[in-house]
Amino acid sequence: AQSVAQPEDQVNVAEGNPLTVKCTYSVSGNPYLFWYVQYPNRGLQFLLKYITGDNLVKGSYGFEAEFNKSQTSFHLKKPSALVSDSALYFCAVRDGGTYKYIFGTGTRLKVLA
Amino acid sequence: SAVISQKPSRDICQRGTSLTIQCQVDSQVTMMFWYRQQPGQSLTLIATANQGSEATYESGFVIDKFPISRPNLTFSTLTVSNMSPEDSSIYLCSVDGSGQGVGEQFFGPGTRLTVL
């Protein structure tokens, strides 16, 4: 069965420092991987995706993620965090054979000024 | 990207009543999805709604409790029936960006439901 794990409930980072939000996945076929961000009282906003191609994908707001097939990971990264990046981040996987998303439990990112 | 609106944005309802949530998209889409996000938790897919066919429900969700309509390619409704406090959640609709079920999904702002 498909699954997504976000091992950290919360990540704290100082403004200007690099940030990483972790995600590992398990799928039976080729993975389609996604990151979303949710600001308070707002819906989810799409950040980036990996379908195929380069393992490093770049997305919105300066975020990027690295697909690592051997480690079944898709960690979200940003070189320099902003206080405005503070939000709830969700990793999601879609099995290549279906249209359904499986969401991780979410990681709350707090960027400290 | 698609722009999605939902009505109402929030509501407080009494136990045993029903609430219908509307989802409007600014473009025609084949696949629409309804999710539930319980307080402090992740998103769970309730059902997939395709125009012209019956909605497909996920395990643990039934049509009698969550009837869905999909009258055209830009609109869908989800009804939460015979509500109990356990139904208090954020309900989100989304659409598939690729139109083929393989791209990113775009989400509405959500409906925050509180059941007393």
| pLDDT recorded at residue B41 | 83
Planar angle of CA B51, B60, A28, nearest 5 degrees: 80
Residue A10 has pLDDT above 90, yes or no: yes
Looking at beta carbons, which residues of chain A come within 8 Å of B103? 49
User: What count of CB pairs under 8 Å joins A to B?
Assistant: 50
Q: What is the DSSP string of A72-99?
A: TEEEEEESS--GGG-EEEEEEEEETT--
Please name the member of B31, B42, B112 whose beta carbon is closest to the beta carbon of A105: B42
Decide: helix, strand or coil at residue A61: helix
Would you say how long chain B is, in residues? 116
Rounded to whole angstroms, the Cα distance separating B35 from A68 reads: 28
A59 touches chain B (CB under 8 A): no
Contact B56, B47 (CB under 8 A): yes
Rounded to whole angstroms, the Cα distance separating A61 from A48 reads: 10
B89 touches chain A (CB under 8 A): no
B36-68 pLDDT tens trace: 998 778 899 999 998 888 899 999 999 999 999
Residue A97 has pLDDT above 70, yes or no: no
In 3D space, the residue among A14, A1, A7 whose CA is nearest the CA of residue A85 turns out to be: A14
A25-84 pLDDT tens trace: 998 878 889 999 998 877 889 999 998 889 999 999 999 999 999 999 999 999 999 999
Distance (Å) from the alpha carbon of A90 to chain B's nearest alpha carbon: 8
Rounded to whole angstroms, the Cα distance separating A79 from B1 reads: 26
B103 touches chain A (CB under 8 A): yes
| pLDDT recorded at residue B1 | 75
